[in-house]
Structure 1
Amino acid sequence: MTRYYPIYVRRSDGKAETGSAKKREKNEPTPEQLNTKPDANGVSDYYRPIGEDEPKHLDWRRKLGGMLMRVLAKPDSEHQHKAAVLVHLPENFRLFEHIKSRAHDGDPSAKRASKNHAGGGHDRQDAYLYGHPMGRKKRYRSPADFFPHLLWLATDKDGNSDNCSCKICCPEEFQEEREAAVRSTVKRENATPTPAPQSQAGTPAQSPANPRPGHKHPVVVIPVSRPSSSSAPRNVPGQGQQPPQPQSTAPPPVQNPPQSLLQQRLTRLPVLPFPDFEMDMRWNSLLFRPGEVVWHSRGDAWGLGVVIRRYLIASPGHAPQRNYIIQPLSNPLEELPPVHHSEERLLRPWLAWSPPPLTNEILQNRPDTSFHAVDWAAVLAGQFGQGNAEVDGSILAAKAIDVSVTLLHLLSTTRANSQIEERHWGAMFLGAEKIWVGEPVRVKLDVPVQHPILVITEIIEHIDLRRRSNIVVRGDLYSMVTGNVQPNSQMPSFDHLPHRMAQDLVARNQCSLPFNRLSTVNPVKPQLIMPLDAIRGRWYESNVLLPMIQPEAEFVDARRRGTIDDTDPWLNGRGDSSGQQRVVSMRAPERRDALGSAVPPKTRIHDGLEPMSPDEVAAVTAAPQQMQAQQAQQQQQQQQQQIPGATPAGFDAAGFGGMDVDVGEFMNLESDFPTSLPGGAGPNGGMGWG
């Protein structure tokens, strides 16, 4: 029997739904096409989904795996001629079978055998692959048609669909149009020594079905896709976070848009009279903000908590020490003491990692599991089996906070008309993060824009007569691009950008310009209004965040080669931890309401930079000792009760397939960890757990 070697492709640009914000449709055959009922003449003509365990699905994956093996394996490699199979299709790509059968009056012998691969007994039985971001009408008819797109997903680190040679991303008419544009550009350059620079920013209203030169197809998912089965490897403790390696293709040249165009498009950035606003707008300032949910180091493990305080301590001859007080998240019945961190590198944004499966297998396998729906008393009593209620409580609490929204700093109230009241706010807690007006955010779009960034200028709430609230943001949309420039080029001006963005681009280009590479932003559309579910999360500086979440040697090497990436491919989007296609924001009046019972009742979030008092310092210092004493007491009680199969951390080793795992190992980001756990991996986005 032939042995097939498994191949995983973790990047995906597939979409389950496409369309505009007002009109969405599933990226699959229409409901009429899925109707299996024969017509009046007895003719059956319909589509049906093909399951992963069916021969035709396996046939596609074997062909795709074999082509990948032959292309990616070195010519002299022993893998060159091995049989391979693609374990899963990229996320949101689904196979459907078009079946068409004539009426045979109940005579099975009249049926013709299908000549299509994988066989069949109908007049037509063709397979089509749906999922391309341009919609259901753009489907692949064979493994050979899809393979160029799959190869691009597996090898192009930047997700630039201009590098994809499949028939959908690069149709023949697009190639001819692009070649004509190149020929025209060459003629102008030959005729004029110093042509005026041209903007690469496309019109966002351009239909994706008619791409034009310079446009980028949308890639609204992060490079490592979320496996749909526990059999697929996940990024877990001990595994790297490295995106797929790109092909050695030269990036396109970058030209700066004329300053006159910038002046016409840009909106004046707001300035708010709040000390925290001034601090958060500075380059390389305190990265995390009071009220934000973060990962924080617990020594040999990582946990989830909320920033309740931050402050600086001056040190002669050194940069001020950055201090954070973190309140760990837990279930309502286990209150944990605050933790003090004096090093920012011991924290990570919530969106930097994906949460692992719950330790309690029963809770993990229940589709309706949520923080507020769990009977935590029953969980602690062991009625749901073995697990760690503290860890599970923190994971479910963070997911619940991820879909919350709280508006801050009311700036003005106006009445748009007799029925709508319009309120303008200065900031908001959106999920785990605090976002101000005047700062950039990562967004997802249904139009072809590469690395879209929205600089928010207004946070607007509309309230109707029935007191129903609708929240949107307005801002200037940019596209961040990186490409080749002429030697000895001048660094462009970034004065029109928020200070953090401008300084980060200057720092990136100081490394890349010696290699004739330039990173810049092109204005795409001014004063664009977007719903909250289009915001993926805060935008972070590459020179600040990447040294924290990348291996140190990798970041140092990237600086040496002048190839510092944007942070977006390394981060999840809001809602990715729960696998939601669309995040429905739950309004919380105050941030404390969003945190709920996941933190102790007396928890208070401190704005500003006021240091702790001596009494508060003593309390935080004594807290770990008290916690250790409580854990020792609980451990002794468990031994007295003789709970079978339970470790001191509350894990049932037998429940993990015989693995001897404790809570420290489970949340340890530096050690090896099994690639699959009972209960399935679940839909995890971004770079995974660690």
Structure 2
Amino acid sequence: MTQPLTTFWPIFAVKSDGHDVVNQKGRVVRNGPTQEQLDRTPNDQGQCDFYRLIEKDDPKHMDWRKKLGGMLLREIGGKQHEDKWQQTILWDFPENYKLYEHIKTKADGQAKTVKNHSGGGHDRQDAYLYGYPKGPRKRYRSPGDFFPHLLWLSTDENNDYQNCTCKMCSPVQLEVERPAMKTDVTIKREGGPSVNTSGPIVMGRNPIVSIPAQRAVSGPPTQSPAMKPATPAPAPTPALALSQPPNAQQIRAPAVLQSSPLPQPRGGEQLTDSRYGQFICRTGEVVWFFRPKTSAWGLGLVVRRWTVKDNSGGKAYLVQPLSHPYDHAMPEVVTADEHLKPWLAWSAPSCTFPYLQQNPQLRYDQVDWNMLLSGRYGQGIADVDASIMAAKAIDTTYTPFERLKTVPLASGEDRHYNGIYLGAEKMWRGDPVRIRIGQGIDLLVITDIVERVTAAPAQTKTPTQPSSQVWVTGDIYSYSTMPAPDPSKLPTPPSATNSNIPIRMREDMAWRNHMLVPLSQTLAWWRLISTASRIDMADIKGRWYETSLLFEESFAKAVKNNEGGNGIWMNARGDATAVGRSTGSPRPDRIAAFGSALPKGTQIVDGLEAPSATGALDIGIGTSAPEAAFSLDDFMNVEHLDDAGGVGVDFEHDFRF
């Protein structure tokens, strides 16, 4: 007699941090078994040792999901859903998490069945779940190993890896002093009786997320989904559901994330910066710029920019070189984007003076430039060293600008701004920025910039300056791919209708896919993974730049070498000074942040209007000085400006485009 199919309640993974490719020290690798590990060819002795992808309808895949689904419902749904704990199945693993089976046999005819959690007729046949963002070496060996991470993904609104107690996020599990809770769950073997085990829960770092232990449930065992597939039932919505008992309350799929509306630009300059293919660099930013008179690259401040009025669409920048207090060069006009590079695109070389090399802790304002120029500290090039040290000093500052509103608080106030100078860069609301959260490969689109100013308590005897904390809020996006075997019939990514992805990100992704699809049969897209997230300013690595505008040749080379489409590295704010994660020090205005590295009277001119023919060099100049004769080319390799490594790029830094 044919047995009826067992019905299961579907439960869905709300979000994912999984990645199908990862960047490890400048090299893009598959986040799973290597190509050699996937090779099933036996060796000369007839032995096989390979990995195979386990498909969703495979009994082993379903067994993992049944166990995870039951534990997740028990942990989140509680006792009120206890009758469904044994009939719940995870609809699918979180996106980009894939289950592989390691198959290892002896010579032909010598294979034997062994008892392990995966079963099978080979000497070794274990299953591993890949996708964890730190790379293929971080894989989960069982549903119990992965469950704490799945629970964290489903419950932690802050996306803080410190809150996850899985073995990957918390390799050192801390014991708690209070008595352990005794909560259990039954996990059946395929085609066998229930196994009853119990034990205390191992707790990790606060906030605590517990791993359910196991216990027996009375009554006849429920048929495992590994025996027969779950029966699909018609669903009124695009989110599929498995068949359910009559008159049962449906466990619904999680609501689709709704992206936050993009802030509207408040002026022409902000509008220009929000468009694709406009100015690479912005006023008030520190940049590397090429100096034709000396055939050298220098460091300077963009004090003005404009569009050339000859209908050519050309752009021009006025750059004030950085220097020491006793010699300031004239501003220079740069008329090509290829002659400008963001400060974070390259790593600064060492100083030329041995004294400064031996005292790297010295800041620009702590150097006795007179002594240095007199030769008492040895030989070197003061202009070069001053520009490097001035740029490093700016890297640790911030200045918010264009206050929008002030919200009073009991102990201070929240000040909301439209933009902020952070380190060497200028950021607006609506800008995508690179963040340190997780593995540092995701982007946040800024919707608000907040400075919380807290006044000192009135009863304090010693007056102190008000303290401040700065953060941004916005949506977080992750680079994702999907198979696209037929270029004439491209799949539609879920973000296709998301108008809140900045146009710069959308246009750049379209440019990437123009090369990715025909060469790698994959389609890339920006996946929304979190909305209205609050990120501390210290966790912002820097502005995001279009690969199509800044790293075109490097991207083409990576795709042709089958290294993926998201593998161009760039420095982060705080790397040049080895400070790392830090908000930095506030400065009252942008020019004041540079101190004596700029000539007196330097001004930043906002807007996009071209200067008059006679007034171009009257802007941003203090006292004039002879043209600087130094050449950074003597200390930097600039032969391959568009190479993947750029100039002196430090591939240890953790960001990829």
- TM-score, scaled relative to structure 1: 0.55
**Which stretches in structure 1 are left out of the alignment for 5+ residues?**
1-8, 14-70, 72-158, 182-198, 218-256, 632-648, 650-661, 673-680
Partner of 1:489: 490
Task: Please tell me whether the aligned partners of residues 297 and 632 of structure 2 are also in contact (alpha carbons under 8 angstroms).
Answer: no
Q: Distance in 1 between matches of 2:442 and 2:24?
A: 22
Cα distance per residue 1:173-197 (max 9 Å; x no partner) = 269969xx9xxxxxxxxxxxxxxxx
Partner of 1:26: none
Structure 1 residues 163 and 329: alpha-carbon distance in aligned structure 2, compared to 1, 3 A threshold: closer
Displacement of 1:401? 0.2
Partner of 1:461: 451
Q: Distance in 1 between matches of 2:551 and 2:255?
A: 29
Partner of 1:172: 141
Q: Distance in 2 between matches of 1:272 and 1:458?
A: 13
Partner of 1:478: 477
Structure 1 residues 561 and 388: alpha-carbon distance in aligned structure 2, compared to 1, 3 A threshold: closer
Partner of 1:37: none
Structure 1 residues 160 and 337: alpha-carbon distance in aligned structure 2, compared to 1, 3 A threshold: farther
Partner of 1:125: none
Partner of 1:423: 415
Q: Please tell me whether residue 411 in structure 1 is matched to residue 404 in structure 2.
A: yes
**Which stretches in structure 2 are left out of the alignment for 5+ residues?**
1-22, 28-36, 38-129, 172-237, 240-252, 457-465, 642-647
Partner of 2:328: 335
Q: Distance in 1 between matches of 2:265 and 2:381?
A: 44
Displacement of 1:469? 1.5
Structure 1 residues 377 and 262: alpha-carbon distance in aligned structure 2, compared to 1, 3 A threshold: farther
Q: Distance in 2 between matches of 1:469 and 1:338?
A: 35
Partner of 1:536: 541
Task: Please tell me whether the aligned partners of residues 160 and 450 of structure 1 are also in contact (alpha carbons under 8 angstroms).
Answer: no
Partner of 1:669: 638
Cα distance per residue 1:93-139 (max 9 Å; x no partner) = xxxxxxxxxxxxxxxxxxxxxxxxxxxxxxxxxxxxxxxxxxxxxxx
Q: Please tell me whether residue 210 in structure 1 is matched to residue 147 in structure 2.
A: no
Displacement of 1:393? 0.4
**In the alignment, which of 513, 523, 527 is matched to residue 528 of structure 2?**
523
DSSP-derived class of the 1:627 partner:
coil
Q: Distance in 1 between matches of 2:158 and 2:535?
A: 17
Displacement of 1:464? 1.5
Report 1:271-282 matches (<5 A): 271-282=264-275
Q: Please tell me whether residue 295 in structure 1 is matched to residue 288 in structure 2.
A: yes
Structure 1 residues 430 and 389: alpha-carbon distance in aligned structure 2, compared to 1, 3 A threshold: same
Task: Please tell me whether the aligned partners of residues 131 and 139 of structure 2 are also in contact (alpha carbons under 8 angstroms).
Answer: no
Displacement of 1:454? 0.8
Structure 1 residues 559 and 427: alpha-carbon distance in aligned structure 2, compared to 1, 3 A threshold: same
DSSP-derived class of the 2:528 partner:
strand
- Based on CA coordinates, which of the two structures has the bigger radius of gyration? 2
**In the alignment, which of 430, 440, 449 is matched to residue 438 of structure 1?**
430
Task: Please tell me whether the aligned partners of residues 515 and 556 of structure 2 are also in contact (alpha carbons under 8 angstroms).
Answer: no
Report 1:305-344 matches (<5 A): 305-316=300-311, 318=312, 320-344=313-337
- TM-score, scaled relative to structure 2: 0.57
Q: Distance in 1 between matches of 2:654 and 2:333?
A: 27
Greater share of helix: 1
Displacement of 1:489? 2.4
DSSP-derived class of the 2:535 partner:
strand
Displacement of 1:314? 3.8
DSSP-derived class of the 1:469 partner:
strand
What letter matches 2:639 in structure 1? Answer: E
Q: Distance in 2 between matches of 1:263 and 1:593?
A: 46
Task: Please tell me whether the aligned partners of residues 203 and 524 of structure 1 are also in contact (alpha carbons under 8 angstroms).
Answer: no
Identity of aligned residues (%): 31
Task: Please tell me whether the aligned partners of residues 298 and 632 of structure 2 are also in contact (alpha carbons under 8 angstroms).
Answer: no
Displacement of 1:683? 9.1
Task: Please tell me whether the aligned partners of residues 305 and 326 of structure 1 are also in contact (alpha carbons under 8 angstroms).
Answer: yes
DSSP-derived class of the 1:386 partner:
coil
Structure 1 residues 597 and 172: alpha-carbon distance in aligned structure 2, compared to 1, 3 A threshold: same
Structure 1 residues 304 and 612: alpha-carbon distance in aligned structure 2, compared to 1, 3 A threshold: same
Q: Distance in 1 between matches of 2:654 and 2:638?
A: 13
Task: Please tell me whether the aligned partners of residues 547 and 555 of structure 2 are also in contact (alpha carbons under 8 angstroms).
Answer: no
Greater mean alpha carbon deviation, residues 425-434 or residues 468-477: 468-477
Q: Distance in 1 between matches of 2:588 and 2:560?
A: 47
DSSP-derived class of the 2:571 partner:
coil
Q: Distance in 1 between matches of 2:651 and 2:145?
A: 40
Task: Please tell me whether the aligned partners of residues 270 and 438 of structure 1 are also in contact (alpha carbons under 8 angstroms).
Answer: yes
Q: Distance in 2 between matches of 1:499 and 1:390?
A: 40
Partner of 2:502: 498
What letter matches 2:306 in structure 1? Answer: Y
Displacement of 1:284? 1.0
Q: Distance in 2 between matches of 1:558 and 1:330?
A: 37
Structure 1 residues 335 and 280: alpha-carbon distance in aligned structure 2, compared to 1, 3 A threshold: same
Displacement of 1:11? 2.3
Displacement of 1:519? 1.3
What letter matches 1:540 in structure 2? Answer: Y
Q: Distance in 2 between matches of 1:443 and 1:422?
A: 23
Task: Please tell me whether the aligned partners of residues 441 and 453 of structure 1 are also in contact (alpha carbons under 8 angstroms).
Answer: yes
- Alpha-carbon RMSD across the aligned residues, in angstroms, is 4.0
Task: Please tell me whether the aligned partners of residues 328 and 625 of structure 2 are also in contact (alpha carbons under 8 angstroms).
Answer: no
DSSP-derived class of the 1:509 partner:
helix
Q: Distance in 2 between matches of 1:470 and 1:586?
A: 11
What letter matches 2:302 in structure 1? Answer: V
Task: Please tell me whether the aligned partners of residues 434 and 440 of structure 2 are also in contact (alpha carbons under 8 angstroms).
Answer: no
Structure 1 residues 566 and 598: alpha-carbon distance in aligned structure 2, compared to 1, 3 A threshold: farther
Structure ranking higher on relative contact order (CA contacts 8 Å, 6+ apart): 1
Task: Please tell me whether the aligned partners of residues 476 and 526 of structure 1 are also in contact (alpha carbons under 8 angstroms).
Answer: yes
Structure 1 residues 452 and 682: alpha-carbon distance in aligned structure 2, compared to 1, 3 A threshold: closer
Partner of 1:11: 25
Partner of 2:626: 627
Q: How many corresponding residue pairs?
A: 422
Q: Distance in 1 between matches of 2:432 and 2:602?
A: 30
Q: Distance in 1 between matches of 2:413 and 2:521?
A: 52
Partner of 1:590: 589
What letter matches 1:439 in structure 2? Answer: D
